[in-house]
Structures are given as C-alpha cells and as structure tokens.
Structure 1
Amino acid sequence: MITEQIAKDIWELHSRLFDHRPILQGHIRAFVKEFEEKRGTREEDRLNKIKTQLNDMTDKYIPETETALDTFLTNIQAKVKVAVEVCKKIEEKENNIEVGFLDLQRQRRREEWDVFMQEQFEKSAKVDQDMDIEMKKVSAEYEELEKKIEHISTATP
C-alpha cells in the first residue's frame, strides 16, 4: 500500500513536472478561439468590400469601358493602318536609296581591291625578277670561285 501511494505520488510529480499537455491544450484552444473571433469579422468586412467593388465594376466601369473601346478602337485601328502604310512607303524608299548607295560603294571597293591586287602582283613580279637577278649573280660568283679553285688546284702540283 505504501509502495502504491509512493508510486502514485511519483507519478503525479512526474506528470506535473514533465507532462504539459493539459496546459498547452488550454492555451491552444484559447488562442484558436481568439484568432477565429478576430479574423471572422475582418474577413467578412473584406468580402463585403470586394463584393461592392465587383458590383461597381460590373454595373458601371465595364459598360463604360466597352463603349469607349468601341468608339476609340475603330479610330485607332484606322490610324494604325495609315501609319503602317506610310512606314512601308518610307521603308521602300530608303531601301531603294540604300541599295543604290550600297551598290556604288561595293563597286568602288571592288575597283580599289582590283587596283590593290594588281599593285601586289606587280610588286611580287618585281621581287621575283630581282631575286632571279641576284640568284644569277650569286651563281656566277660561285662559278667564278670554283674556276679559280680549280685553276689554283691544277696549278699547284
């Protein structure tokens, strides 16, 4: 019996010290209740405000917008078509001018390139000629040296 009483006391002490569920559940219930009460009216107010705004839009703003769009869009569409046509004409005119100008520039660059290449061919030909002349001179000098060497080697017994 005493052991049962001690066990009950220990269990009660343990539950009081370490089991916080009853306290936490009470706090949680109070918090949820308070949160729901405060939020309930706020949400209702917001929903009513949204409802009035939607009614205003459907009754007033949307019909006004539709009539304004009907009247102004036809005018805007006509003006856009005219602007597109004007832009196309300007583009065609500039393309024609640009194509002619570009063709002239291409022709001028081709002529300059042809002149440049002709000059390079002439310079290359001159360098080749000078090289041939120098090669002949060097060959002649070596032949002359070889003759002198042969003459010297045949003259000395």
Structure 2
Amino acid sequence: MDQQLFKDLSEIHARLFDHRPILQGHTNFFVKEFEEKRGNHEQERLKKLDEEIKEMKDGLIPEAKEGMDQFLANITAKLKVATEVCKRVEEKENNIDTDLLEKERERRKSDWTEFLARQYETCDQVDAEFSEQADIVAKHYEELEKNLVAMNNSTP
C-alpha cells in the first residue's frame, strides 16, 4: 500500500511539475519551424561574406597598402623639406642683429615724440590766432556799438 501510494504521488508530482515532454515537443517544433523558414539564407550569406573577404584580401588590401606606401613616402619627403625650411627661418631669426632693431625702435619713438610736440605746438598757435581774431572781432563790434550809441545820441 505504501508503495502504491508512493507511485501515485510520484505520478501526480510528475504530471504537475515535470514539463519536460511538453517543452521538448515545443522546442522541437520551434527548431523545425525556424530551420524551414530560414532555409539556406544563412549559408548563402556566409558564402557571400567569404567571397568579399577573399576579394579584399587579394585585391583591395594590397592595393591600399601600395598606395599608402607611395603617398606616405611622398608626405615624408615633403615633411623633411618643410622641417629644413623651418630650421633655416629659425636660424635667420636668431642671426638678426637685435641691436639694430632696438636702435630703429628708439628712433621711431623719438620721431613720434617730435611729431606730437609739433602737433601740440601747431595747436597752440592755432588757439593763439583764434584768440587774437576773436579779440579783434570783439573790439570791432564794441566800436560799432559805441558809434551806434553816439549816432543815436547826436540825432535829435
């Protein structure tokens, strides 16, 4: 009886909790369906990729390498020439007489100072002439006003 009870319990447990047969059937169905739908597409894609890789390996990569070797050699030569030119310019810059530059700078400063002094002087002269002319005009109008007053007084 205990054995029978154990068997029954095992069978109930298997039916409730053991889903392997159902899952296995579903899994087999899914795999079969997946393989039928895909067909040979994956193999065809792999063959195409293999051909493209071989084409690149045999044609494009050596061609690109050859072109880079050629252009890089050309660029390297141009860089060497540019570096030499830069070195020459730097040497010329270092050889320039800095005393001469300082003398010229001082001369330009003194020329500028003289120019400003002349400008101030000219400005002062113009101001002085303006003041003189303003005084002359003011005196002239004062005289005219005196003459006008004198004429008005003398007329009966």
Q: Under a length normalisation based on structure 1, what TM-score does the superposition of the two structures give?
A: 0.47
